[in-house]
Structure 1
Amino acid sequence: MNHTSQAFLTPTNGGQPPNYERIKEEYEVAELGGSHGSTSVRTTVINMPREVAVPDHVVWSLFNTLFLNFCCLGFIAYAYSVKSRDRKMVGDVTGAQAYASTAKCLNISALVLSILMVVITIIAVVSIMVSAGRLYI
C-alpha cells in the first residue's frame, strides 16, 4: 500500500486529473472466514440499524387533555406528542425521542398533580361535612 499524500490543489502531474486509485487502496474491507482449499470465500457484513420504535404518548396525552388537564399540562403534553409523531414520520429519531421524553414528563406531572388535587378536594369536602355535621348535632 502506498501512503504518499497527493496535492489536489496544484496539478503536479502535468494537468492530468489526480489518480484516485491510491486513495482507494487505503481503505480495506475486513474479511470473515478462512480460505477453503484453493478458493477463498469473501464475506462482507453490513450492520443495518434496526428501526427504533419511539412511543409518542398521543393517547395518554389526549386522555390527560380531556380529563386531567391540570394547569394545561395535558394540552402541552399533547402538543409535544404530536411534534414527536411528526418527527418520527420525517425520520428524525433523535428529535422524536426528545419530544416524546418531554411529553412523557408532562403527562406524568399532569397525572400526579391532578390525582393529588382530587385527593385534596375529597379530604377537604369530607372534613367540611364532618365539621358541619358536628355543628348541627
Structure 2
Amino acid sequence: MNNAQVDGYDRKILSLLQADGRLTNNDLSERVNLSSSQCSRRRQRLEEEGLIKGYRALLDRERLGFPLVNVITVTLATHNPDNARRFADLVARLPEVQEAYALTGEMDYILKVVTPDLKSLSEFVSAVLLPHESVQHVKTAIVLQTLKETGALPL
C-alpha cells in the first residue's frame, strides 16, 4: 500500500492507535470526527492491508527485572551468506536481544540487549556471543540514560 491510499483520517487513526492500542472505535470516532462504524471499517482495512501489524502491551522493563540496557556491536569472523545466516539464527533465539540490525561500515551488527545485571551481561557476551562460530569480535556499551525510546512513527 502506498501513501496515496492513506488519507488524513487513516493517519489520525494510526497515530491515535500507536499511542494507545486499546482505543475503541467509539473512542476513535470522537477524536477523528467520523462515525464509529466508519472507524471500524477503516481500522479493519488498515489491519488487513498490514499497516497495523498487531497490538501489544508496553511492559515496564525495569520493574520486571531488566534494568540494564546494552548496545553490543558484533563483527563476524567471515563475511559469507552462511555465516550471516548462522548469526541471524542465533540472534532470533535470544530473548535478551530486543533489536538487531545489520550495518554498513566497521561493524557488521548492532544489538540492543537487556539484562538483569552486569553478571548476566558478562555471561551473555562470554558464554553466548563470543563462543559462537560466526562471531569474531564483540564490543559492549552499557546505556547510562535513555533519552528517548519509542516505536512510534512520525505520522
Which TM class, normalised by the smaller chain length? under 0.3
Compare CA radii of gyration and give the structure with the larger one.
1
Structure of higher RCO (CA pairs closer than 8 Å, 6+ residues apart): 2
